[in-house]
Structures are given as C-alpha cells and as structure tokens.
Amino acid sequence: MTVSPAAERVTESFIDGEPVRSAATYPNVDPSTGTTLGDVARAGDKEIDQAVAAARRASRAWRVTTPEQRSDLLARLAGLIDDEIETLARLESEDSGKPLSQARNDARVCARYFRFYSHVIESYYGLSIPLRPDLHVYTRREPLGVTGHIVAWNYPMQLFGRAVAPAIAAGNCAVLKPADETPRTAVYLARLAAAAGLPPGVVNVVTGLGPEAGAALAAHPDVDHLSFVGSTEVGSLIAGAAARRVAPVTLELGGKSAHLVFADADVERAATTAANVILQNAGQTCSAGSRLLVDERVHGQVLQRIAERFGAVTIGPGITDPDLGPLVSRKQQDRVRGYVESAKGADIVYGGTVAEPDGISGGAYFNPTLIDGVDPAARIAQEEIFGPVITVTTFGSEEEAVALANGTDYALIGAVWTTDLARAHRVAAQVDGGQIYVNTYGAGGGVELPFGGFRKSGYGREKGVEALDAYTATKTIVVQL
C-alpha cells in the first residue's frame, strides 16, 4: 500500500477526556483507492481496562445528575455535531467509501439521536402501582452503570449515536469500540462530547482490532451491559462472553430482508425504491432489501425498471459523491464476488462483476447486480451478502409470498407493496421482522422507531423510547402507609 497525500497522524483512543496512545498501530485503508489514510492505535486489554475504570469512576457522579442536566449536555453535543457535519462526513466517506452525501446524512442522524434522547429523558417516568390502599408502590428506572458498545463499520456515526445517546441519557457511562475499518469519526465524536461539557469518563472510545480490543470489552467483568452490531457469528461470541458473567446484551445482527411486490402494487415506486435501497452504502446495510419477491404477473416490469436504474448509476470514490461508492474493503469485495459466482442456474440480468471506475485498480468496487430466477434455498438467497446485489424470486399466491419471506434464518425488516389495504395489514402481521413497511421502505427507519429483529437477526430493541428500557433496570419500592 502507498500512503495518500492526505494521510493523517495516528488516530488514538479517547479515554477519560484525553487521547491515549497504544504501543502498536495498524493502517487505516481508504477503500476507494487502496491507499492508507494513516495509522490507528491498536489498543488491547490495557486500554480497555483504563476506559472501563474511567467510566466506573465517572458513573458515580453522572448517574445522580438530573434529567435536565443530562438533557442540556446532550442537546449541546447535538449542536456541535451539526456544526461539524462537513468534517465528520469527509472522515466517514474516506474511512468507509460511502458517497459524501450519504455520510453527511449519517452525521445529521447522529446529531438527531442526541437531540431526541435529550428531549425524551425528561419525560421518562416510573410507575405508581395501586396494589392496596395501605401500600404506596412505585417503580424507578435506574442506570446500569458502565455500558460497552461494539459497533459495525457500515454506519459508524449513526451507530455511535444509536448506542451512546440513550445509554448516557439514562445515566450510564459508555465505552465504545469502533470497527477496525472506520475508527476516526468515533474518536472525533468523543472529542466533541468533551467539548460539549460531558464530564471525563462519560464517553470513552477505544480503537483497535475486534479479536483484541473488542474481545477484551466483551469479556470485561466490570461492564454492566453490552450492545453489539455486526455479524451473527460474532454476535454469538459476544453473547457467550456476556452470559458467562450474567450481563445483559442487545444484539443487532444480520438480515435478509425481503420486498414483497404484489400484482396490484405501484410497480414503478416499488422497483425504484428497491433499487435505491440496495445502492445505499453499496448494499452494506443489515436491513437492506436484498431479496425481491415478485408476483409472477409483474415480474418482467419490475426487472426492467431495476435494470434501467442500475444502468444509470455513477460509480466512484465516495469523496466525489457518486451514486455508488466502493465496498468497505477488498476482503468484502471478494466476499460479494463469491456469492454472485455461487448463483448457479440463476440469470444475472445486470452487473455481477468487479468495477474499476476511471481505471482505479486498487479500490473495492462492485457493480450493482440484479440476479433473477434464484432458488430460495440457494446460499445467495439464504445468507447475508452485504453488497449491492438483489436476488429475485417469483410467487403465485399470497401464501407463497409469506412463506418465502419467512424462509430464512433472519427476521429483521421487510416491505409489502400492494394497494389492497386488507392484504397490507394481513401480510404485515404474518411476515416475521422487527419492522415491516407498507408501500415504503426505511432501511432501519427513523430515530424514533424501535429497531431490532427476531431469530438470527438478534434480540433486544434499539432506538425510540424502548432503548432507554435496555439501558436501565426497574426497581420496585413498596412503602407501608
């Protein structure tokens, strides 16, 4: 690898309000070009211990601050994030390869998380339970203490906000391990938290590799709650490490979400939405609609419209703001190519190959890909691809459509496209998933909407008011009158 002219100094962890070096580093690779953006501190057990200890010290005072005080600080941090959108977007675009406009949106959503929870925490109440006239019974929602967060590389800023904002709003102190590939925005956001006035130790970021820093955080005996976003395989390891010390876990894992397009649907809108969703972040979204289940009567129309959309796509480095940037790494590019090559007997309608826009040979690009006639039992229809690839399978009845939608180990989100109101509600109730959309698709939806899955898509809910429940415990108090 060569070093780009924009290479920066070492990205260091941020612990207890200060940057922290590590003895070793690793290179941060720009997936748009294959060049390095600088080095990243390769933290391990020592730095994780330091961060958890800092969070524990800070929690003694932070947990007894008033909701109003926490609200003011989170709102101040949201404002600072808004002020730094361009800087944050550029860092995320370089680290992940995603188009600059998408990175800007991620920064805005990150700010929105902190602003949303700054409001919600002031109206997050316990309950009064009318047990008997001579007893006064009420509940309190109390913070857990130190929360650990291990997040994925596909939406670094959104995942930071999604994890940290509700945790600290509820009175916890957080230690976050960003993905190996995308560490810089997390460190920048931790610095902004300090600038906003959050006390040292409330927000800590430890950079490093998953098997080292991530494993150390997952197994740390003084972490009271873990949240993880990533693969099902790693999620099971995280859950196992937490179970051994009886710590609660929130897991947001893989997805194989489906669009169900019925014959009476607005085909133009359904096809355009399906294409745009899989292009977003190069299909590297756990809730991407990677399976298209289409009524055989409108099958040809849907294929034509998606192929036309893919044919108009611009591809290039994320910083140039194309429709489609690179995948996060050459490793991911090889993974996507392997899945496409495994689709024996299916018809590749569009794409299916590695791309080299403007002759860039060191990037991790892959052309948008549409594959028709996919056996629903095939690997490519059952396993998460995490690339700009849509598989298409037809159905002949509503019952068959529901069976196909529920025919994988995952159950994260889904979409029903129909103008029949009764069918919309009927099918939405039958399709397994944490979020089901009708005649639209949110790829995770807004900050306000509880998000999570069933089966191998994980358990627990993030986002919305429900996230505060995950980061608190209920204490029931009974007073004899």
Catalytic (active-site) positions: 252
Rounded to whole angstroms, the Cα distance separating 277 from 258 reads 12
Distances (CA, A) of 5 to 9, 37, 386, 416: 12, 9, 30, 48
CB-neighbour burial class of residue 456 (10 A; exposed 0-12, middle 13-18, buried 19+):
buried
Q: Which residues contact 361 (CB under 8 A, 6 or more apart)?
A: none
Rounded (10°) CA dihedral 42, 365, 159, 253 = -100
Q: What is the DSSP letter of 230?
A: S
Is residue 187 within a helix (H) or strand (E), and if so which, with residue range?
helix 184-195
Helices 267-279 & 299-311, crossing angle to 10 degrees?
40
Rounded (10°) CA dihedral 402, 403, 406, 409 = -170
CB-neighbour burial class of residue 21 (10 A; exposed 0-12, middle 13-18, buried 19+):
exposed
- Letter for the amino acid at 261? V
Q: In terms of Cα–Cα distance, which of 150, 152, 182, 148 is closest to 40?
A: 182
Phi/psi at 397 (nearest 5 deg)? Answer: -150, 165
Q: How do strand 347-350 and strand 369-372 relate by DSSP bridges?
A: antiparallel
Rounded (10°) CA dihedral 368, 268, 105, 281 = -20
Distance of CA 365 to the CA centre of its chain: 21
384 and 228 in contact (C-beta within 8 Å)?
no
Rounded to whole angstroms, the Cα distance separating 116 from 330 reads 37
DSSP string, 374-414: --TTSHHHHS---SSEEEEEEESSHHHHHHHHT-SSEESEE
Rounded to whole angstroms, the Cα distance separating 368 from 462 reads 30
Q: What share of the chain is helix, strand, coil (3-state, %, to 5)?
A: 40, 20, 40
Q: How do strand 225-229 and strand 146-150 relate by DSSP bridges?
A: parallel
Rounded (10°) CA dihedral 441, 449, 249, 40 = 70
Question: Which residues make beta-bridge pairs with 391?
Answer: 291, 371
